[in-house]
Amino acid sequence: MTDKHTVVDLFSGCGGFSYGFQQAGYHVIIGVDNNKVALDTFRMNHENSKTLLLDLHEDSSIEKIVHAKGNQLVDVIIAGPPCQGFSLTGSRKENDERNTLFNAVFRLAKKVNPKVIIIENVQGLLTLYKGKAKKDIINLCEELGYNCTPKLLYAPDFGVPQIRKRVFFVALKKELGVFEFPKPTHLPNDYVGCKNAIGDLPDLDKSYGAEEMKYDKKAASYYQKMMREGSNVIKNHIGTKHTKHVVDVISQVPEGGNHKDLPPGVGDSRKFNEAWTRYDSKKPSKTIDTGHRNHFHYKWNRVPTVRENARLQSFPDKFIFSGTKTQQYRQVGNAVPPLLGKILGTQLLNYLLDED
């Protein structure tokens, strides 16, 4: 048992969102997902947390979560339901069953009566299908006795070195008031850029790295120091063996450029918006996705490693990913940046501690 505020993380993936809450001083009771490898990662990085491998489409899953929590009260439910149905890059089918997965959040809330519900999703959720999903979420919160505030958060505003916009619905029990989102901690002229985020990691220009590596440079920025806290080795930092052709194309992309900057006839196999994108060392990275084939290091002619992507998502170096390299990339890309989770969790304490 613990006197910390408690969290259940639905659609947890590897647990980036709840890891941020753990950093803010919460106890994460359970992580729930349908991906075993992601839950293996979750278990390794969360203190005294259970994991449940469940399909949240099934009603029986809710009973299993209630049983697993035992007699512990649940203060906060956090959830990042799969966004493919809402995403601008997805198929945008209105009847995509993934669009209604957020109902699982409310089925659990009816059973455990948390003080807070937080749902994170892609910004398309706010406007797609004339805003139906947004209205549904707010109405469901209202029915259960919550004040629900949605807000679009831009990750660089909060020190995350990555261009990422996501909507967060924060619903407080009515007696706790209306949630006021934290103010940005960074202005555009002091956003954390790629070099300040990952420039201290081994270059891998002459090797593909190893399962475990030593730091070979000193931390040169506040962000790098923060990422190194509690870690004296680097894991998940294995380079990708590109073909000679791919290396040749990447080498012709200027820093901050993309396929539009290539000479005629070069890199024609990929011509979509994000193709052949090289990061700018002074700016946040593009949105980290679950693939890893179109974005390249600002200096080296290769895709970023899992660890570099994890840094750009604000996972500290002591957070270790399990599974194959492809599975690790997917876990990183699917995650909510822990730093955003920590900032929201810290702000939420103002309401929970007042109530205590």
Is the separation of the CB atoms in 228 and 220 below 8 Å? Answer: no
Residue linked to tokens 């997805």 = 90
Q: What is the rounded distance in angstroms from the CA atom of residue 32 to the CA atom of residue 287?
A: 25
Give just the sign of the alpha carbon dihedral 282, 286, 289, 293: negative
- Residue 101 main-chain phi, psi, to 5 deg: -65, -25
- Residue 148 main-chain phi, psi, to 5 deg: -110, 125
For 163-199, b where at least 16 C-beta lie within 10 A, e where not — what string? bbebbbbbbbbeebeebeebeeebeeeebbbbbbbbb
| Residues in CB range of 340: below 8 A, 6 or more apart | 17, 20, 153, 155, 158, 160, 166, 314
Q: Which of 203, 6, 18, 195 is nearest to 112 (CA)?
A: 6
Q: Which of 83, 141, 148, 194 is catalytic?
A: 83
Widest Cα–Cα separation across the chain: 66
141 is known as an active-site residue = no
Which active-site residues does the annotation give? Answer: 83
